[in-house]
Chain A
């Protein structure tokens, strides 16, 4: 099975711009979660999508948004970029069903490294 893929791998933007990151989950996985990793804050949960609906949300401003398509692929959007948004953005997928929690696991993609200048 192919793993989680993320595009693009690297991105350079300037302050005020917006950016869209893409994530394709493992085949058969219906849950996609997004995490931000920075040297100062570590790994922080952004949000989770399951069956095209946001199921969970972390403590990030409204500039961070996402969506999920019917094929479970997900996109994350950051509007009005700030310098502090520079980070590695990781996407993870899992089966996601409520009956799967005793055996389910999140598998991560290689990440998109966003640099805001």
Chain B
């Protein structure tokens, strides 16, 4: 069975704090893909990053970084020096090789960054 768990429903931080959003996934497939999306109040899901199951290299993009660990089935997302504009709902998603465009989404983590 495929499942994505984002245990943190809502997180509040003060601007410039670092924050980590957790994502744990379940799949029986050996080839799968993981994604993070940001959903601002406007509603559109904005793509942030994808990671292939066969590539465990972590990635940094500006203030954003992602830690993929197959051993713990986790794909966590860290925002360094958070800003008010980072306030949004963040979704982690999983897809599998045989049904690539059928995404399984977590329930999302609402991030509130206060000035």
Q: Which residues of A are at the interface with B, using a C-beta cutoff of 8 A? A: 31, 33, 35, 42-45, 48, 50, 55-56, 58, 88, 90, 92, 94, 96, 101-102, 104-111, 113
Q: Which 8 A-B pairs have the closest CB atoms?
A: A108-B45, A43-B105, A110-B44, A101-B100, A111-B43, A48-B101, A33-B101, A56-B102
Contact (Cβ within 8 A) B102 A48:
yes
Name the one of B50, B97, B99 contacting A105, with C-beta atoms under 8 angstroms.
B50
A106 to B43 CA separation, bound complex (whole angstroms)? 16
Choose from A33, A88, A113 the contact partner of B102 (Cβ within 8 Å).
A33
Q: Other than A35-B103, A108-B45, give 17 A-B pairs with Cβ distance below 8 A.
A: A31-B101, A33-B101, A42-B105, A42-B106, A45-B103, A48-B101, A88-B43, A90-B45, A94-B100, A102-B52, A105-B50, A106-B35, A106-B101, A108-B46, A108-B47, A110-B42, A110-B44
Provide the residues of chain A in CB contact with B107, threshold 8 Å.
Answer: 42
B6 nearest CB across to chain A (Å): 10
B33 partner, pick from A101, A109, A113, beta carbons under 8 A: A101
B20 to nearest A CB, angstroms? 21
A6: nearest residue on chain B (CB-CB)? Answer: B44
- Measured CB to CB, the nearest residue on chain A to B96 is A101
List 8 interface pairs A-B (beta carbons < 8 Å), by A numbering. A42-B106, A42-B108, A50-B101, A56-B102, A58-B102, A106-B101, A106-B103, A111-B43
- B residues 30-74 touching A (CB-CB < 8 Å): 33, 35, 37, 42-47, 50, 52
- Sorting the interface of chain B by its residue count into under 10, 10 to 19, 20 to 34 or 35 or more gives 20 to 34
**What is the minimal beta-carbon distance from A41 to any residue of chain B, in angstroms?**
9
Helix, strand, loop or mixed for chain A's interface? strand
Chain B residue at smallest Cβ distance from A41: B107
Query: Does residue B91 face the partner (Cβ distance < 8 Å to A)?
Result: yes
B97 and A109 contacting across the interface, CB-CB below 8 Å:
no
A107 to B101, CA, bound (A): 11
The distance from the CB of B55 to the nearest CB of chain A, in whole angstroms, is: 9
Q: In the assembly, what is the distance between CA of A58 and CA of B102, in Å? A: 8
**A110 with B99, Cβ < 8 A, contacts A102-B52, A105-B50 known:** no
Min Cβ gap A39→B in Å is 10
